[in-house]
Amino acid sequence: MQILSKYRLGKFSLFIAILLFVGSGIASDKANSIEIRAALVVGASKEKKGAKKLSESIRKRLAKVFKWRNYYRLSDKQLSIPVDKTKTAKLSKKASIKVSNRKNGRVSVSLFSGGKELIQKSQTLRIGSYMVLAGESTGDSAWFIVISKSN
């Protein structure tokens, strides 16, 4: 009887060990995924009434580098990308991005306009930091993609 009881305890322990092992793999996968927000932004010299203004912190950072004073959010997408995977997001009729999670917060982003790749950039993203990819400029305005880490 004691042998049978040890055998059952051994099966139960094995079952618990398997659950813990599988569960840790799921947690590990989630820990390696990255949550990002991609925003399509337009920079303009003239103010556009009724347009969604960009947050002041991002506007200040862009204004230090680019000549426009006004920045507006046209659209945005939230993406959850597992490690070593790539996702695509369409931000407008013409603008789309392809984002790859390269591990440890490092992402690689390709910006497309009308199906043509304009630029590819890799960077480690931390909360509070941004990756900016510049689109096309018309003289009095330009568009950008601003990538930020959500988690």
What residue spans define the domains of the chain? 1-32, 34-149
pLDDT tens column, 25-77: 444 445 679 999 999 999 998 888 888 999 898 999 899 998 888 999 999 99
Percentage above 90 pLDDT, the chain? 56
Q: Which residue has the higher pLDDT, 22 or 36?
A: 36
Segment 122-128 mean pLDDT: 92
**pTM for this model (two decimals):** 0.76
Q: What does the pLDDT read at residue 30? A: 53
Torsion over CA: 74, 111, 100, 148 (sign): negative
Cβ-proximal residues to 151 (8 Å cutoff; 6+ apart), any chain: 34, 35, 127
